[in-house]
Structure 1
Amino acid sequence: MIITTTELDSILNNPNLIIADTRSFKEYSDGHIPGAVHLDLFSFHWIDTTKQGIENFNNQTQHLLSFLGVTPEKKVVFYDSVSGMLSARGVWILMYFSHQNTSMLDGGITKWKKENRPLETKPNGFKPSKFSGKINPKIISGFEYINDNIDKITILDARSPGEYDGSIIRAAQSGHIPNAINIDWNKNLNEDGTLKNDDELSQMYNLPKDSEIVTYCQGAYRAANTFLALKKLGFKNVRVYLGSWGEWGNRLELPVEK
């Protein structure tokens, strides 16, 4: 799920490689990895995890991945500025559709540029496909699943301490999901924007390996980064709460702690 700059540089000419730049279009236009297409995943927020909401998410995501040109033999690499939340969201989405051959560029374009690797400014067009993946329901959660299992699962809140304690308000309700543990996703990264090594991550996520864990944030981007960090450590049973606080905090019938 993680690819180094050296590894990516060595396969740039592979015809079965798709590179997706998940930053803003301006950043992409100023210079991107050769061959990369632009895919702004931030515009694809989703905060409805009712049964119908998840079905709509599945359909729209399938269209998005078809547009990107994903087929079973393609290796898909996502990158952003660092080992960030956008590239992690891309990897999680493909894993959700059971496409395992996908990676986040460790250190993102910041590390790529620092190493004076090639860049280009010309935009690259999409080569659409007819993507049809197999949904993996074991790595996604909706609000009902959390509410039904709130005392049985480990809930990891990847937001900032201020969002967690309710001093920063980004929904109708402030605070956090009851029993949630707050580990800010920024702690997953080294100062240079690469992911921390397994020893450092293990000290932070000092949980039994067989724990059932659900990660969430505001819109399931930071939560996707924490999902990747946990998978890297070998946790088998990890879900991302797709609706995250954008949904939970706006559903007044759901319990909240401060």
Structure 2
Amino acid sequence: MAPWRHLLNKVLPAALCLGLVGPAFAAKPDFIVDAGWLEQHIDDPNTVLLEVRYHPHRYYTVGHIPGAVQVQRFKDLGDNSGLPLMHLPSRAAFQASLREWGVDDDSTVVLYDDSRTALASRLYYLLELYGFDMEQVKMLEGGTVEWTVFNSLSQEAPEVEPGGVTLDSRDESLVVEWTDVYDDVVSRRDEDIVLLDARPEDHYSGETVAGAPRGGHIPGAVNIVSLDGTDGQTQTWHDLQELEALYDDLPREKTVYVYCHDGFRMTLAFMQLKALGFEDVRLYDGGWSHWGRALSLPVVEGGEPFDDTFDL
């Protein structure tokens, strides 16, 4: 470990207790770890390090943290036989991938990406969806940006001994289908449910068309951009106080349905909301890539949840 990290580990707790440290050091979720933590645990026999890059070839060209196994974000984290591709993978397919990556039931699984944890969040969500012990899952924020301050990258893929992890059946309380969204939000206007669109504002409004042939959003959806809870330069999360402010308009007692284009921004929102104490958060399997392609389903353009057609 770098010498400055030892000093920080001793000084920071005391500074927090004395009130000498400002909001920049506010608490983050306990599943978030930094490069110093990884330096201490990277050689532990139970540690499995998984990388999800935006451009998969950079695993071999730019390089990766030594020992990290490559996860290809589309091929490995979606249903390759369905359309759109990023429907949730089956238990059997995801379990087979985890075993190929060397994951056992007692593994400590450390995830990172180069996209402000949005890509790795999909992997985090899938582990929870299929019943892996989430106490054993960590998210490395900062990715290679923080790691390379004091450490080097590797371009060699590690030799992996297959694992034997056994997953549970899918937790249906974490998923909704398009029929649930249509019934609960568009049709019945269930007051106990909030539909959250985690995409950029210009995608929500329809100004930018991406991920489907149509632009806009699902009628009734409110827009909170999950990536706004992260720092694009440092690849880190904002502190919990800032996340509170970002999601301040969402009532905690309600069920939150979340969607995005292809299943990454919404899983980041899932992690953020869970970190803030939201108890009932469910993801729309397929998201806008599904809804926007189903040309019979209604769409709203503009900055409001409903337009004149759907407004009460």
1:28 maps onto 2:62 in alignment: no
Which residue in the other structure is 1:224 paired with?
267
Which residue in the other structure is 1:5 paired with?
35
- C-alpha separation in 2, matches of 1:111 and 1:216: 30
- C-alpha separation in 1, matches of 2:103 and 2:181: 31
Alpha-carbon RMSD: 2.2
Tell me the CA shift for residue 9 of structure 1.
1.4
For residues 87-236 of structure 1, what are the structure 2 equivalents within 5 Å?
A: 87-99=120-132, 100=134, 101-113=136-148, 115-134=149-168, 135-150=170-185, 151-152=189-190, 153-170=193-210, 171-190=212-231, 191-206=233-248, 207-236=250-279
Q: Which has the higher contact order (CA 8 A, sep 6+)?
A: 1
Moved more, 173-182 or 64-73: 64-73
Which residue in the other structure is 1:250 paired with?
293
Please tell me the residue identity of whatever aligns with 1:73.
D
- C-alpha separation in 2, matches of 1:136 and 1:89: 15
* 8 Å contact kept, 1:89–1:224: yes
Which segments of 5 or more consecutive residues in structure 1 lack a partner in the other structure? none
With normalisation by structure 2, the TM-score equals: 0.75
Moved more, 63-72 or 242-251: 63-72
Tell me the alpha carbon deviations over residues 55-109 of structure 1, each in whole angstroms, 9 at most, x when there is no partner.
x633322222222232210111111114322111111111111111212211221
- C-alpha separation in 1, matches of 2:298 and 2:160: 44
- C-alpha separation in 2, matches of 1:138 and 1:96: 9
Q: How many percent of aligned residue pairs carry the same amino acid?
A: 29
Tell me the CA shift for residue 176 of structure 1.
0.5
* 8 Å contact kept, 1:85–1:224: yes
Cα distance change on mapping 1:194 and 1:155 into 2, 3 Å: same
Which of residues 4, 27, 41 is equivalent to 2:73?
A: 41
- C-alpha separation in 2, matches of 1:244 and 1:212: 17
Tell me the CA shift for residue 148 of structure 1.
2.2
Tell me the alpha carbon deviations over residues 108-167 of structure 1, each in whole angstroms, 9 at most, x when there is no partner.
211222x31243222113332343311222222221222222123211111111211112
Please tell me the residue identity of whatever aligns with 1:140.
V
Moved more, 104-113 or 118-127: 118-127
- C-alpha separation in 1, matches of 2:115 and 2:299: 32
* 8 Å contact kept, 2:226–2:269: yes
* 2:290 partner SS: helix
* 8 Å contact kept, 2:216–2:300: yes
- The total of aligned residue pairs comes to 254
Tell me the alpha carbon deviations over residues 186-236 of structure 1, each in whole angstroms, 9 at most, x when there is no partner.
201124220011110101101222221121111111111111111111111
1:15 maps onto 2:48 in alignment: no
- C-alpha separation in 1, matches of 2:154 and 2:235: 22
* 8 Å contact kept, 1:82–1:106: no
Please tell me the residue identity of whatever aligns with 2:173.
K
With normalisation by structure 1, the TM-score equals: 0.90
Please tell me the residue identity of whatever aligns with 2:183.
D
* 8 Å contact kept, 1:172–1:249: yes
Which segments of 5 or more consecutive residues in structure 2 lack a partner in the other structure? 1-30, 302-312
* 8 Å contact kept, 1:46–1:243: no
